[in-house]
Chain A
Amino acid sequence: MRAKKLNRGVALVGAGMSRFGAFPADTTRDLFVQAFREMRASVDKGLDPRGIEAIYIGNYSSDLFEGQGHTAPLMADWIGLASRPATRVEDACASSGVALRQGILAIASGLYDMVLVGGIEKMTNLPTERVTDTLATAGDVLYEIPAGFTFPGFYAAIATAYMARYGASPESFMKVGLKNHENGALNPKAQFGATIRTMMDRRIASAKAKGRPMPTWEDEMAFLHDDNANPVIAWPMRLFDCSPISDGAAAALLVAEDLADSFSDVPIHIIGSGQASDCALHDRPDLTTIASARLAGEQAYQMAGVRPADIKIAEVHDCFTIAEIVATEDLGFFAPGEGWKAAEEGVTGRGGRRPINSSGGLKSKGHPVGASGIGQVVEIWHQMRGEAGERQLPNSVDLALTHNVGGTGQTCAVHIYERRR
């Protein structure tokens, strides 16, 4: 099959995000304005917002989380662009990865030269059970949810199938959490700006201060095995295997490639885009892989004309630690059944051969579901331009990838980015 190509090139010339975390005083609008302002400040040669012709906003469920539907025009209005065509994109946790793709397609079609893409989610208003219920609606409410499945439960089931086939253990997953918390500790925007070691030491200090019995964890792995410190959510996924409940927003500015130089000293070209869907988990022949990710990845690689080995850095959808391992196999970085070994051997660390989730990933950075896809773009933007501060990769990042999954893979969007100077 002929590789699909965009009708014209698209470049990323600005990106920004709010902090991810729990912000009782901020609504999605406030968070989105924060993201927009940071994005605006990131445009090297300045941005006159009046030039923005259309807006695509990823948002999973403000309806259920905040009681607010029809969110895209509101976001447009709050940044002073009430008249622009503003479209909400909903594909569960892949909402803003797909919003990005819609923005790319809109420019590639020739209709617009300048498009704002973003993502928003405000999840912390609800108690945990209601968040659990709301996230579960991204599964099949007729046939999966009555069985008692929750979102952690789906990925836990993927984990048991993966362990049974490939010999991975719960410790393999814990290594992913350790690594992502290490990265997130260097990210000022991360919900958990601390390593697991730091969080463990804080608990020991707190017990000491309160005169309570001091925990006797020998090391981080002992802490992660402690049912009290790291309770089981859906076995084998424990608390530190799960991304948190988060509030946050992210925004990115796309322009037609031939305009890129008038906005940016170092534009980032989006050279590959792929998207695919899939059925409910139980209907899939193989539960150790996410087929939509393989398909979306193949499309993006083909369009970009690059191979997995060429990619210098990837932000992948680690809503759960098992998801990162599966993602690194689906994207072709490791062979099936080898991803857990790479995670255990440190290959995916910032200093490793195949750095994954230098931002801290959804695990540590936070997972305001509709904002996570563009949140990944923000990390790629900083790393490719050498602006990632303490967590900047040692080697030049001229080719990068983002992988954003909705549900258990009913949706996946993959994008590939190139820096040319």
Chain B
Amino acid sequence: MSERPFTSTSFQQYLAEHRLMATRCGTCGALHLPPRPLCPSCFGEAISWEEMSGSGHLKAFTTIHIAPTAMIEAGYGRNNPYCTGVVELDEGPAISAQILGVDASHPQGIAVGIRLSVTFVERGQGDGRHTLLGFQPAVG
């Protein structure tokens, strides 16, 4: 099976298939998320895709009240804040993602370190429809 190119387009296609994919360097073994076509750890070019378990923990977060245009279009803003953060996966790499299933109106109740699992968020209509990476508190 030939690998998909190590691009953001491929990453996005995988997200649409509800798969969180990182790249593994065949030279030094480093794992990278977002995917990298050239290993930033050793400059190696022997790269392959690897699927992540989707489990991790919250490394940093914020609840956003003054939202960018795309999030305003999704229904967020001053009266409906959302939580976004940096999630460190159990496999090691960390990524930015919206954090769902938490009360963004009460940020004091959200804690760095909580366990999270991946979720896939469908947004937009028609041609603008796309899948975004999200995380939510892990159950159990």
A positions within 8 Å CB-CB of B: 128-130, 132-133, 136, 140, 142-150, 152-153, 156-161, 164, 231-237, 279-283, 287
Evaluate whether A149 and B66 lie within 8 angstroms (CB atoms) in the complex, with A143-B95, A158-B60, A164-B113 already known.
Answer: no
Partner of B94, one of A142, A235, A283: A283
In contact, B8 and A231 (Cβ under 8 angstroms): no
Bound: A282/B81 CA distance, A: 21
When C-beta atoms are compared, the residue in chain A nearest to B63 turns out to be A235
In contact, B98 and A148 (Cβ under 8 angstroms): yes
Q: How far is the CB of A351 from chain B (nearest CB, A)?
A: 33
Bound: A16/B76 CA distance, A: 42
In contact, A231 and B95 (Cβ under 8 angstroms): no
Q: How far is the CB of A320 from chain B (nearest CB, A)?
A: 11
* Interface residue tally on B, bucketed by range: 35 or more
In contact, B65 and A234 (Cβ under 8 angstroms): yes
Evaluate whether A281 and B68 lie within 8 angstroms (CB atoms) in the complex, with A143-B34, A157-B86 already known.
Answer: no
B16 at the A/B interface (Cβ < 8 Å)?
Answer: no
In contact, B62 and A287 (Cβ under 8 angstroms): no
When C-beta atoms are compared, the residue in chain A nearest to B123 turns out to be A146
In contact, B66 and A147 (Cβ under 8 angstroms): no
B112 at the A/B interface (Cβ < 8 Å)?
Answer: yes
Q: How far is the CB of A408 from chain B (nearest CB, A)?
A: 11
When C-beta atoms are compared, the residue in chain A nearest to B40 turns out to be A279
In contact, A234 and B86 (Cβ under 8 angstroms): no
B38 at the A/B interface (Cβ < 8 Å)?
Answer: no
In contact, A161 and B63 (Cβ under 8 angstroms): no
Evaluate whether A142 and B66 lie within 8 angstroms (CB atoms) in the complex, with A147-B97, A157-B86 already known.
Answer: no
B64 at the A/B interface (Cβ < 8 Å)?
Answer: yes
Restricting to B75-129, which residues have a CB under 8 Å from any CB of A? Answer: 76, 78, 81-82, 84-86, 93-98, 107, 111-113
B positions within 8 Å CB-CB of A: 8, 34, 40, 59-72, 76, 78, 81-82, 84-86, 93-98, 107, 111-113, 132-133
Evaluate whether A150 and B94 lie within 8 angstroms (CB atoms) in the complex, with A160-B112, A282-B86 already known.
Answer: no
Bound: A132/B76 CA distance, A: 14
Bound: A365/B14 CA distance, A: 46
Evaluate whether A161 and B95 lie within 8 angstroms (CB atoms) in the complex, with A148-B82, A156-B62 already known.
Answer: no
Q: How far is the CB of B27 from chain A (nearest CB, A)?
A: 19
Bound: A287/B96 CA distance, A: 13
Q: How far is the CB of A127 from chain B (nearest CB, A)?
A: 10
15 additional contacts (CB under 8 A) given A161-B60, A232-B63: A142-B8, A142-B34, A143-B95, A145-B68, A147-B84, A148-B70, A149-B84, A157-B86, A160-B112, A161-B112, A231-B65, A235-B65, A235-B81, A237-B62, A280-B96
Contacts of A233 in B (CB 8 A): 64-66
